[in-house]
Structure 1
Amino acid sequence: MAKDTLSEITGLPDDLGIGDDLARSQQRVSIRVDSRRYGKPMTVVEGLDLPDDELSSLASTLKRTLAVGGTTTADGSIELQGEHGTRLEAALRDEGFDVET
């Protein structure tokens, strides 16, 4: 019989996945809008402390939710084409992040 491992964050079994939710809610994510080539807006999500695979998955979810193109960067940011203030904030809160405004 395998012994359940306990989360270092919550002290509860890892199988419950509560530690992941708690870790996400403790991150302070910021949203800013940059101007790119030809004056096109680019929304940047910063402050994410996620492994590369989770960052890519989150970027895919946000792109699908907002119906936009985008990418992840080497410094752990997500860049989305266009300006998506309140819709992006709501989408990040739905994913369990605390968003700075």
Structure 2
Amino acid sequence: MTDNDDPFAGIPDDLTADLDRAEQILAIRVERRTYNKPVTVIEGFDPDAVDVKALGTDIKRAMGAGGTVDDGTIEVQGDHETRVREFLVERGFEIA
């Protein structure tokens, strides 16, 4: 592939990362787990465009909650749907 074929040719890397984020459409939902405890689930990440593990750490820290990252899905303990949505939109993600 030549520079003429690359739609991002000449665009700085930090801006192409923003474009990669904007092209992803994430889904956020709250599930009830054992003992009816809520868990916020975020799905739809492109693992080639986003460091999901680092983003999961940032989200958990911002929410002050525990959680896990597994197979490109972030799970945060508690019902944080609104706050997680705001957090991700501020970072350039699109939410379904």
Could you tell me the TM-score, scaled by structure 1's length?
0.82
Deviation at 1:22, TM superposition (A): 0.2
Which residue is 1:70 aligned to? 67
Q: What is the root-mean-square deviation in Å for CA atoms of aligned residues?
A: 2.1
Q: Which amino acid aligns with 1:38?
A: Y
The runs of at least 4 consecutive aligned structure 1 residues that moved more than 4 Å come to none
Which structure 1 residue ranges, 5 or more long, are not aligned? none
Which residue is 1:48 aligned to? 45
Change (3 A) 1:9 1:55: farther
Match of 1:95 among 84, 88, 91: 91
Which structure 2 residue ranges, 5 or more long, are not aligned? none
Question: Aligned pair count?
Answer: 93
Q: Which amino acid aligns with 1:47?
A: G
Change (3 A) 1:20 1:34: same
Could you tell me the TM-score, scaled by structure 2's length?
0.86
Deviation at 1:38, TM superposition (A): 0.5
Q: Deviations over 1:14-38 (max 9, x none)?
A: x542111100011000101111100
Which secondary structure does the structure 2 equivalent of 1:38 belong to? helix
Q: Quote the Cα distance in structure 2 between the aligned partners of 1:87 and 1:66.
A: 8
Match of 1:59 among 45, 56, 61: 56
Q: Quote the Cα distance in structure 2 between the aligned partners of 1:23 and 1:9.
A: 12
- The reply on whether 1:81 has 2:81 as its aligned counterpart is no
Q: Which amino acid aligns with 1:37?
A: T
* Alpha-carbon contact 1:10-1:18 (below 8 Å) kept: no
Q: Quote the Cα distance in structure 2 between the aligned partners of 1:31 and 1:48.
A: 11
Q: Quote the Cα distance in structure 2 between the aligned partners of 1:19 and 1:63.
A: 25
Q: Which amino acid aligns with 2:29?
A: R
